[in-house]
C-alpha cells in the first residue's frame, strides 16, 4: 500500500513493524505517532490537508483491518477441538459416526489387561499405572543398575533432548511403590502391588518385536517372604488366567534388581507338554522374569531390609495375549487395523 505523503508512509512502516510484537493489537490505534498525525491536520494548509487526511485515514483503516483479521483467526483457533478424533474442518457428512457401545470395543490388550489386573486384585494386589515418561533414577539407579554397567544396554530405549526416558520396563514404579507403601509394613500389612503400563524399546520391529508394548509386574514385600511364595503366586495367577492346572519351572537368570533372579516357564496350556507351534514343540513357554527383590533396591525404597523381604516379577502382556489368541504378529496391536480389532469386539 502506498501513501502520497512520505511522513504518513514512514509512520505506517513504523507501526506495522511494532504490531508484530504487540499482544493486544488494538493498542496500535492509540499510538502517539498516529495521534500526532491527526493532530497536525487542523493546522495544515487547506490544499495539503485533503490528501494528508486521506492518507492517515487509509493507514488507520489498514491497521483496523489487520486487527480484525487477527482477531478472527484467533476465534477460529479457539474453536478447534483437539480431542476430536477427526479433522474438525471436514464436512459433517465426512466425519465418523459418534462412538457408542455399538460402534466400538476395547482394544484386545486393554480387555486382557483388565482381566489380569482383576485376577491380581482378587489376590490382594492394589493396582498402579506406570508412566510413559520417566527419569534415569527410576529407570536404572533405583533398580541397582550401577552407572555405566553393561546391564543397562539390555534396556535400549528412547531419550528426550531434556534427558527424560521412555521407560523400557514398568519396574520404574518399584521405588515409588515402596516409598508409598512402606508405612503398611510397620502396621503389619504386606506391600502387594500390581503395576502395568506402556513400555518402549529401541527395537528393530518385526513379527516378534515392537518398539511399544505393555508390561505387567507385581511386587510383594512382607516378613519371611521367600521364593516359594513367588512361585505359588505366579502359578495361581497363570492357572486362573488360563483356567487350567499348569506346571511351573524356574531356572537361574540375571537381573540387577533381584537376587536371586529367575526365568519362569509354564507348561504349555495348549498342548499339555506334548509340543505344538505355540511352545515351539518344547512343551514349555518362558514367560516371566522374576526374583527376590535385591536388598539394595529395597533400601533405596525406604524398606527395613533386616525385617522384610519381597519378590517381584513381570511379563509382557502382548506376548500373553498373542499366545492366548494365536496372534502371529505383534505389530497388529499398534497397527490400528480394523479387520484385526473387529475379531475381538
Ligand atoms: Zn504347546
Query: Do 210 and 316 form a contact (C-beta atoms < 8 A)?
Result: no
pLDDT for 79: 58
Residue 86 falls inside a structural domain:
no
Residue 85 falls inside a structural domain:
no
* Rounded Cα gap, residues 304 and 238, in angstroms: 31
Examine the domain organization and report whether 181 and 237 are in the same domain: yes
Cα 268 to ligand 1 centre (Å):
4
Examine the domain organization and report whether 162 and 243 are in the same domain: yes
Cα 149 to ligand 1 centre (Å):
37
pLDDT for 16: 85
Cα 159 to ligand 1 centre (Å):
38
Distances 297 to 142, 187, 201, 257 between C-alpha atoms, Å: 6, 21, 23, 6
Residue 146 falls inside a structural domain:
yes
pLDDT for 25: 82
* Rounded Cα gap, residues 11 and 37, in angstroms: 9
Write phi, then psi, for 149 (nearest 5 degrees): -70, 135
Query: Do 103 and 338 form a contact (C-beta atoms < 8 A)?
Result: no
Last residue of a domain, one of 62, 79, 96: 79
pTM: 0.70
| Residue located via cell numbers 464436512 | 91
Residue 100 falls inside a structural domain:
no
Average pLDDT for runs of 10 along the chain of length 345: 83 86 83 88 86 90 82 54 71 63 78 96 96 94 90 84 93 97 94 96 88 96 97 97 95 96 95 90 94 98 97 95 90 90 84
**160: Cβ contacts below 8 Å, ≥ 6 apart:** 133, 166
* Rounded Cα gap, residues 190 and 186, in angstroms: 9
Q: What count of residues does the chain have?
A: 345
Examine the domain organization and report whether 36 and 124 are in the same domain: no
CATH number at residue 200: 3.30.930.10
Residue 88 falls inside a structural domain:
no
Examine the domain organization and report whether 134 and 235 are in the same domain: yes
Residue 90 falls inside a structural domain:
no
Cα 267 to ligand 1 centre (Å):
8
Distances 186 to 134, 181, 305 between C-alpha atoms, Å: 29, 10, 13
Examine the domain organization and report whether 17 and 64 are in the same domain: yes
pLDDT for 72: 58
Cα 118 to ligand 1 centre (Å):
26
Examine the domain organization and report whether 75 and 130 are in the same domain: no
Examine the domain organization and report whether 259 and 179 are in the same domain: yes
Total domains in the chain come to: 2
Residue 96 falls inside a structural domain:
no
Write phi, then psi, for 99 (nearest 5 degrees): -75, 140
Residue 168 falls inside a structural domain:
yes
CA-CA-CA-CA torsion sign (62, 63, 66, 67): negative
Cα 147 to ligand 1 centre (Å):
41
Query: Do 289 and 261 form a contact (C-beta atoms < 8 A)?
Result: yes
pLDDT for 76: 47
pLDDT for 281: 94
Cα 327 to ligand 1 centre (Å):
14
Examine the domain organization and report whether 43 and 160 are in the same domain: no
pLDDT for 228: 97
Domain of residue 140 covers 108-342
Amino acid at each position: 500500500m502506498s501513501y502520497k505523503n512520505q511522513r504518513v508512509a514512514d509512520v505506517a512502516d513504523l507501526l506495522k513493524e511494532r504490531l508484530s510484537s504487540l499482544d493486544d493489537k488494538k493498542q496500535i490505534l492509540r499510538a502517539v505517532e498516529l495521534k500526532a498525525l491527526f493532530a497536525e491536520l487542523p493546522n495544515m494548509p487547506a490544499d495539503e490537508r485533503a490528501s494528508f487526511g486521506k492518507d492517515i485515514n487509509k493507514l488507520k483503516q489498514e491497521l483496523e483491518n489487520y486487527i480484525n483479521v487477527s482477531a478472527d483467526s484467533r476465534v477460529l483457533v479457539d474453536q478447534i477441538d483437539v480431542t476430536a478424533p477427526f479433522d474438525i474442518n471436514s464436512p459433517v457428512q465426512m466425519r465418523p459416526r459418534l462412538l457408542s457401545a455399538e460402534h466400538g470395543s476395547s482394544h484386545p490388550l486393554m480387555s486382557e489387561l483388565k482381566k489380569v489386573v482383576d485376577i491380581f486384585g482378587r489376590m490382594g494386589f492394589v493396582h498402579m499405572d506406570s508412566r510413559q515418561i520417566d527419569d534415569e533414577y527410576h529407570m536404572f539407579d533405583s533398580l541397582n543398575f550401577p552407572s555405566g554397567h553393561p546391564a543397562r544396554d539390555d534396556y535400549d530405549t528412547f531419550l528426550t533432548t531434556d534427558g527424560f526416558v521412555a521407560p523400557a520396563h514398568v519396574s520404574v514404579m518399584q521405588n515409588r511403590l515402596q516409598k508409598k507403601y512402606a508405612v503398611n509394613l510397620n502396621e503389619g500389612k504386606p506391600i502387594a502391588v500390581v503395576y502395568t503400563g506402556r513400555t518402549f524399546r529401541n527395537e528393530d520391529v518385526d513379527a516378534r518385536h515392537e518398539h511399544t508394548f505393555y508390561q505387567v509386574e507385581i511386587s510383594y514385600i512382607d516378613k519371611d517372604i521367600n521364593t516359594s511364595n513367588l512361585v505359588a503366586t505366579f502359578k495361581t495367577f497363570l492357572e486362573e488366567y488360563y483356567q487350567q492346572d499348569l506346571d511351573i519351572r524356574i531356572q537361574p537368570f540375571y537381573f540387577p534388581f533381584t537376587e536371586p533372579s529367575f526365568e519362569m516357564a509354564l507348561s504349555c496350556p495348549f498342548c499339555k507338554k506334548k509340543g505344538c507351534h505355540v511352545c515351539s514343540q518344547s512343551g514349555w513357554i518362558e514367560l516371566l522374569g522374576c526374583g527376590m527383590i535385591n536388598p539394595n533396591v529395597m533400601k533405596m525404597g525406604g524398606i527395613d531390609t533386616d525385617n522384610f523381604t519381597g519378590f517381584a516379577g513381570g511379563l509382557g502382556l502382548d506376548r500373553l495375549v498373542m499366545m492366548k489368541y494365536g496372534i502371529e504378529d505383534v505389530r497388529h496391536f499398534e497397527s490400528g487395523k480394523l479387520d484385526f480389532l473387529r475379531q475381538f469386539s
